[in-house]
Chains A and B, each alone.
Chain A
Amino acid sequence: MSKRIDVSDLNVYYGNFRAVADVNIEIGAKSVTAFIGPSGCGKSTFLRTLNRMHEVIPGATVEGQVLLDGDNLYDPGVDPVTVRSQIGMVFQRPNPFPTMSIRDNVLAGVKLNARKISRSDADDLVESSLRASNLWNEVKDRLDKPGSGLSGGQQQRLCIARTIAVKPGVILMDEPCSALDPISTLAIEDLINEMKNDYTVVIVTHNMQQAARVSDKTAFFNIAGTGKPGKLIEYDDTATIFSNPSVKATEDYVSGRFG
């Protein structure tokens, strides 16, 4: 189920402005990859191009190739909706659907696509997704309550459960802990560690300790100055990036001498 991603010569534009330039990266299946870098370096923009979420922003365009197990996301015949159902995304701020119960939130991907599902299959899917996101024990007695009544950390795990329920091969996470308290953050990090058994996880984070704790490989993005495009500076095993990086800028950044 878990899938790999290969990116070659990727450029992202907002109108005429090139936001991200010439990214080449291979993300292996069943691994956790962290994107780090200063604000505005294009790491979130790049992450969004991995499931074509950037297209939601008017004027955003992409050049280059993103291969999901060898299939290019940007081939003319490809429907972004198909891409997104195979590459899920978790956002910075927890965003459960306010009109839906906890159960319906988990089933959102199925129900919103009007896919037929039997009652027992739905129950199984809700339980397995919530178990996989370590939320089952906390919410199993109140599945019919609104999802927005949960705490921030629980809401974020609900959003992860919602993403898992669609059965994607890859899960992208855009700073999933930046709006959470330390205890909730720890719960999410534990979850990410478990998730790599079944999924390919890509996480954007501002928190370098978090990158060091959860990821197998780390990519460092940087920007030469305002108005310049963001670039992938270095991509290697997390241990190498944090202990023995080969580029000076990476070393400056991870040791805190920068930004």
Chain B
Amino acid sequence: MTNATLTPVPAAPVANRRNRLSKGRLPRWAIPVVGLSALVLGAAGSTLGGFSIASMLIYTALLFVVGATAVTVIVEGRRQGTNSFFTYLIHGCFILALIPLISVLYTVLERGLPGMTSNFLFTSMNGMTGAVDNQSVADGTPVLGGAYHAVVGTLLITAFSTIISVPIGMLAAIYLVEYGQGKALSRGITFFVDVMTGIPSIVAGLFAGALFGILFGPSTRMGIVAAVALSVLMIPTVVRSTEEMLKIVPNELREASYALGVRKWRTIAQVVIPTAISGIASGVTLAIARVIGETAPILVTAGLANNINFNVFSNWMATLPTFIYYQILSPTSPTNIDPSAQRAWAAALLLIIMVMVLNLGARLIARVFSPKTGR
């Protein structure tokens, strides 16, 4: 061992000397080279069976994963090979998941923007027949008819379902957090609220339809039925998010309030809820964003209208999702479907904008209005 201390310590690393810790590792250029050759081979391979971007990308990705893994296995061993294989696979999963997102957003923008006219936004489909569409295609004039009635319906039905769901959802959450701790009833509610989040939206629609059918006779279709159906979907979301937010409020604040001689209900209403309100509001906004795009329950409860209806308590009503659905599934003019498709995509763009605004709004509410702790 003493000999070891006598051997001269190697001087500072010489420029062209390789670090011994990186021995048996792939040089840094290896993977890009594999990638490039995979691209070339992929392009070549795809021309064999009729060139297309899709097949080229698929071949390239497969060749790259196989090639890069093989190179790693040969140089660095099997364990490193497995590791890099899964690294590529997992990155690939993420890219794969982005494809539909980008494709959907791009399609909706590309096809929806041309239809986003003031005519589209501020007229209804009242009196719009296939003949009108045929005429505008033949003359090359702008597409007539719009989604104003559907926007009105969407806003009204969503507003009514919010009015129904928020008080019930918030009160139930207050019961769970403030009154029901450890009670069998609260455990039951928690479980069934979770189960309720999984109710298919069409079943919620059928329920509301059946309920009003029993009360007012079969095939009762009006806005309020749809609002009830959406409430069934919305309440569990509101309960869950409110519950989470109320649980975060520190118990110390409740005790401080009780110690001042404040009653429990005033404590909840004036201390607990104001402290949690930003989180609750953001949760409610997300719940609205979720139900505003629902189609199936509206189909079976509110029917479809072409005219503007401001009254949720009588007659059929259209919403943006059902408008999109019917414009695509049964175009106004069966021979010239382009005007209908244009209206549908414009409505889709409008709907996505609404949903995105609600989602961003929810994040903004949570950030801006949360109580400043200063700690």
Which A residues contact B (CB, under 8 angstroms)? 51, 53, 56, 58, 81-86, 88-91, 93, 95, 97-99, 108-109, 111-114, 146, 148-150, 159, 162-163, 166
Q: How far is the CA of A99 from the CA of B374 in the complex (A)?
A: 12
List A contacts of B250 (CB < 8 A). Answer: 95
Pick the 7 closest A-B CB pairs, nearest first. Answer: A85-B261, A89-B259, A109-B260, A98-B371, A95-B252, A149-B374, A84-B261
Are B261 and A114 closer than 8 Å at their CB atoms?
Answer: no
Which B residues contact A (CB, under 8 angstroms)? 181-182, 250, 252-263, 266-267, 270-271, 274-275, 371-375
A85-B261, A93-B252, A109-B260 known; A114-B372 Cβ under 8 A: no
Q: Which of B259, B267, B274 has the most CB of A within 10 A?
A: B259
Q: Which of A95, A113, A149 has the most CB of B within 10 A?
A: A95
Q: How far is the CA of A86 from the CA of B261 in the complex (A)?
A: 8
Are A98 and B261 closer than 8 Å at their CB atoms?
Answer: no
| Nearest CB in chain B to that of A51: its residue | B259
Are B275 and A162 closer than 8 Å at their CB atoms?
Answer: no
List A contacts of B255 (CB < 8 A). Answer: 53, 56, 89, 91, 95
Q: How far is the CA of A51 from the CA of B375 in the complex (A)?
A: 30
- CB < 8 Å neighbour of A112 from B181, B270, B275: B270
List B contacts of A86 (CB < 8 A). Answer: 261
Q: How far is the CA of A146 from the CA of B266 in the complex (A)?
A: 21
A53-B259, A85-B260, A149-B372 known; A114-B266 Cβ under 8 A: yes
Are A88 and B259 closer than 8 Å at their CB atoms?
Answer: yes
Are B258 and A99 closer than 8 Å at their CB atoms?
Answer: no
A-B residue pairs in contact (CB < 8 Å), sample of 24: A53-B255, A53-B258, A56-B258, A84-B258, A85-B261, A88-B259, A89-B259, A91-B255, A95-B255, A95-B256, A97-B253, A97-B256, A98-B275, A98-B372, A99-B274, A109-B260, A109-B261, A111-B270, A112-B260, A148-B373, A150-B374, A159-B256, A162-B256, A162-B260
Are A81 and B259 closer than 8 Å at their CB atoms?
Answer: no
Q: How far is the CA of A114 from the CA of B260 in the complex (A)?
A: 13
A62: min CB distance to chain B, Å: 16
| Nearest CB in chain B to that of A147: its residue | B374
| Nearest CB in chain A to that of B249: its residue | A98
- CB < 8 Å neighbour of A148 from B259, B261, B372: B372
| Nearest CB in chain B to that of A55: its residue | B258
Are B275 and A99 closer than 8 Å at their CB atoms?
Answer: yes
| Nearest CB in chain B to that of A149: its residue | B374
List A contacts of B271 (CB < 8 A). Answer: 97, 99, 112
